[in-house]
Amino acid sequence: MFDTINGLPWHPLVVHGVVVLLPLAILGTVLIAVVPRWRTRYGVLVVATALVATVLVPISTSSGESLEERVGDPGEHAELGEQLLWFALALLLTSALLVGLHWRAERAARRSSGDAGAGTATSKQLTAVAAVAVLAAVACGVQVYRVGDSGARAAWGDVPSASGG
């Protein structure tokens, strides 16, 4: 299905969407996790970016399989690319949960008559989810690096450097 467009393989085209959007979602998730006031303003944007990046991951792997039929086995890159979806999903879910809990806490705070007990539980939940979101972001970032590095090695590993060494 995702083989070529105007004679060019889909894979390097779609992969650039993942390479740009997933790190932006990673950075955004870390930022909204550590700067709570940004959750209201940028939370939806972070979640939307994570969603688009996550949708592009299986398109990238599918187009990579089509490219593999043309150019050969990329080795470890294909396996790492398949695993990336799980990291992207974890990032998407934790960022969405963080933003959703934040909205719920804001609504409760506006309706509340100052019940400190409910606010503390929500604050603890938000802190825990923010910590998990940061862990998911770091893990996803490491996996993005591993996939990209193995892909570059698969594509360019046998090309001699310009310096001759």
Per-residue model confidence (pLDDT) at position 120: 61
- Tell me how far apart the terminal alpha carbons of the chain are, to the nearest angstrom: 40
The answer to whether residue 116 scores a pLDDT higher than 60 is no
Query: What Å distances lie between residue 156 and 6, 36, 67, 104, 143, CA to CA?
Result: 23, 42, 15, 49, 20
Give counts: helices (H), strands (E), the chain: 4, 2
The whole-model pTM stands at 0.86
Closest CA to 24 of 63, 51, 61: 51
Rounded CA separation 110/66 (Å): 53
> What average pLDDT does the structure give for the chain?
86
Query: What Å distances lie between residue 135 and 36, 97, 100, 130, 151, CA to CA?
Result: 17, 14, 18, 9, 24
Query: How crowded is residue 151: how many other Cβ atoms within 10 Å of its Cβ?
Result: 23
pLDDT tens-digit profile of 89-114? 999 999 999 999 999 988 888 887 65
Rounded CA separation 106/100 (Å): 10
Q: 158 or 20: whose pLDDT is higher?
A: 20
Question: pLDDT class for 13, splitting at 50, 70, 90?
Answer: confident
Per-residue model confidence (pLDDT) at position 160: 55
